[in-house]
Structure 1
Amino acid sequence: MTGRQQRVVRELLNAHGRTYAEEAGIRLRDTPQPLYRLQVLSLLLSARIRASLAVAAARALHEAGLRDARRMAGADWQDRVDALGRGGYRRYDERTATQLGDGAQLLIDRWGGDLRRLREEAGGDVDALRRLLQEIPGVGPTGADIFLREAQRVWPEAAPYLDAKALSGAERLGLPKDPDRLVELAGDAEPTVLAAALVRAALDKEVAKDSLRRAA
């Protein structure tokens, strides 16, 4: 069984092992701008909307110049709405535009616009990281999980971060729901990439079917 599970993970990673940050054009580093863009992406992805639309909206915000907390906070509400609309994020655009402005202002007021200061406040405690992220307007438990799944690449204290959504993808693939066992099956693959691939399997049954077919 282990050999088959390893093949399933390998095929999943080969075909679907792309992080959402990469899809959104974010070159993730432990610096303020890419971390902020990831936080915005996480907020967008947490809504009940297709992931592809959330990614497109994150790209549209970046193209509009709203790529750090100060620019986001300083933008007109309508500019944020318009950018979200260009990305196809229309169902939640007005509420989200408000959340983005409020969240950016909180980030400036409390952490100087730099999520690394939030990380410092957490002091290496992942539960504290998750709680602090949820203090940002629009970032609930799902958004915090999304952020930490992706940020574990540059915030290693969070790794391996395989949340309930990733583990539901593992279950759909017939894989164990034990994070340590999944990391072992993935071999040298980054936990960030593994988490993203498992989430894609959870969100799209065709991803799971494709991986199982390839591994057969």
Structure 2
Amino acid sequence: MDEDDLKALLDRHGTTYAAEAGIRLTDEPAPLWQLLVLSLLLSARIGSAIAVAAARELFDAGCRSPHGTRDTPRRQRVAALGRGRYRRYDERTATQLGELADAVLDRYAGDLRRLHEESDDVERDLQQFKGIGPVGAAIFCREVQGTWTDLAPYVDDRAARGAEKLGLPTAPAELARLVPAKELPRLLAACVRA
């Protein structure tokens, strides 16, 4: 793929889930929490557009931080998920979000940077949280690597399969060489979406 084709791929399909959900991903507690919430929502067998819409509704309802999520009554979390059309899993997910907030507050004082600092395997350690399995952990790592650059190049199986279908290299280091480090999450998003 030449440089023009790569630029066109990024322009057309290179929107990360975080960007789509309105998360300005920085190394601060609130956006990292929001990415974790989004990763949990994307883990379910439900369309990504619905998960993103549900995340936006949750954030508008006050779930922008672990404290805000814990303080948002469960029925309001259920209602926000419903407004986002995340209906099939709304009751269970509303409960999981409360439990997730409690766990992040208890273990990391509400700051996922502490998990990052303490962890020798972020992908594994994210899975300690109920509702965050391999898919959710992979999404989180794929998107956060532009911020937590020590995770890069992180290429999960889904992104590698997409890269292969696009005729791009599948080895993480080779794929990462195609774009500046900060753009790698966008390239992987394009691999997943295209």
Q: Which residue of 2 aligns with 1:100?
A: 97
Q: TM-score, normalised by structure 2?
A: 0.94
2:156 maps to 1:163: yes
C-alpha displacement at 1:175, in angstroms?
Answer: 2.2
Q: Which amino acid aligns with 1:70?
A: H
What CA distance in whole angstroms lies between the structure 2 residues aligned with 1:187 and 1:65? 34
TM-score, normalization by structure 1: 0.85
* Contact 1:28–1:35, Cα closer than 8 Å, also in 2: yes
Distance in 1 between the 2:68 and 2:130 partners? 17
Q: Map residues 35-74 of structure 1 onto 2, 5 A cutoff.
A: 35-74=32-71
Q: Percent identity?
A: 55
CA contact (8 A) 1:18 1:197 kept: yes
Amino acid corresponding to residue 83 of structure 2 in structure 1: R
Cα separation, 2, equivalents of 1:25 and 1:31: 15
Residue number in structure 2 paired with 1:151: 144
Match of 2:118 in 1: 121
| Displacement of 1:5 | 5.4
Unaligned runs of 5+ residues in structure 1 are 202-216
User: Residue 191 of structure 1 aligns with which residue?
Assistant: 184
Match of 1:173 in 2: 166
**TM superposition shift of 1:74:** 2.3
Count of residues paired in the alignment: 194
How far does residue 188 in structure 1 lie from its aligned partner after superposition? 7.0
RMSD: 1.5
- Name the CA distance, whole Å, in 1 between partners of 2:186 and 2:29: 22
Structure 2 segments unaligned to the other structure (5+ residues):
none
User: Take 2:90 and 2:2, find their aligned partners in 1: how far apart are those partners?
Assistant: 41
Provide the rounded CA distance (Å) in 1 between the counterparts of 2:182 and 2:151: 16
> Which of 87, 108, 111 matches 2:108?
111
Q: Distance in 2 between matches of 1:36 and 1:170?
A: 28
Q: Radius of gyration: which is bigger?
A: 1
